[in-house]
Amino acid sequence: MDSTVLKVGSFINHQVDSDFMNELGKDFAEHFADYGITKVFTIESSGIAPALMAAKHLNVPMVILKKQTSKILDGEVYQTRVMSFTKGTSYELTLFAEFIDKDDRILLIDDFLANGEAATGAARLIREAGATLAGIGILIEKSFQKGRQRLEEAGYYVYSQAQIARLDTGVIEFVE
């Protein structure tokens, strides 16, 4: 197994700790309270729980960006290809146009930040729709990879709840 893959199945993506997700959402909402957020976006599926809680605490809608092209695409959509670091495959990221407006200020919530591919793909869709990506909230950032640098160089603000400096078999070191 790849030593840079962190298993979070017991509390984020297989079994979800609802109290923990509520606290994460509350933290995101407090951190981004002055950013004028109108919607919270996430990419299916592990980001859904914390994004929903952030949206609840911000009192705004949550929108899920789909990873697969729907067979019932009836209407305008924005789509872009994204490479998944964890799975080593690419997918088509889809946003239905009816769920975004040019005046929206979007908070993007994602579970992991590694190379920044998913967030960059979501940013492309938001920009294509004419809306503003006001901030990116990350549960777990792998700081030893280039994702944060890539996003910040593109002009995006990134807030991570946990930053991992080093990850190896049996070792997790956090950024101080």
Q: Is residue 1 part of a domain?
A: no
Which two structure tokens, joined as six digits, stand for 72?
A: 């019932």
Q: What is the CATH number of the domain that holds 56?
A: 3.40.50.2020
Q: How far apart are CA 24 and CA 161, in angstroms?
A: 8
- Tell me the pLDDT of the chain averaged across its residues: 89
Report the 10 Å Cβ neighbour count for 126.
23
Q: What type of residue sits at position 91?
A: Y
Q: Is residue 141 part of a domain?
A: yes
Q: Is residue 20 part of a domain?
A: yes
Which two structure tokens, joined as six digits, stand for 54?
A: 């952030």
Q: Is residue 126 part of a domain?
A: yes
Residue-number span of the structural domain to which 126 is assigned: 9-174
Q: Is residue 70 part of a domain?
A: yes
Q: What's CA 33's distance to the chain center, in Å?
A: 18
Question: Is 26 in a helix, a strand, or coil?
Answer: helix
pLDDT-based confidence at 90, cuts 50/70/90? confident
* Total of domains in the chain: 1
Q: How far apart are CA 155 and CA 135, in angstroms?
A: 10
Tens of pLDDT, residues 143-162: 999 999 999 999 999 999 99
Q: Is residue 2 part of a domain?
A: no
Which two structure tokens, joined as six digits, stand for 75?
A: 């209407």
Of 171, 87, 78, 82, the residue nearest 120 (C-alpha) = 82
Q: Is residue 19 part of a domain?
A: yes
Q: Is residue 144 part of a domain?
A: yes
Q: Provide mean pLDDT across the span 47-76.
A: 87
**pLDDT cut 70: percent of the chain above it:** 86
The answer to whether 96 touches 39, Cβ cutoff 8 Å, is no
pTM of the entire structure? 0.90
Concatenating the DSSP letter of every residue in 136-161 gives: EEEEEEETTSSHHHHHHHTT--EEEE
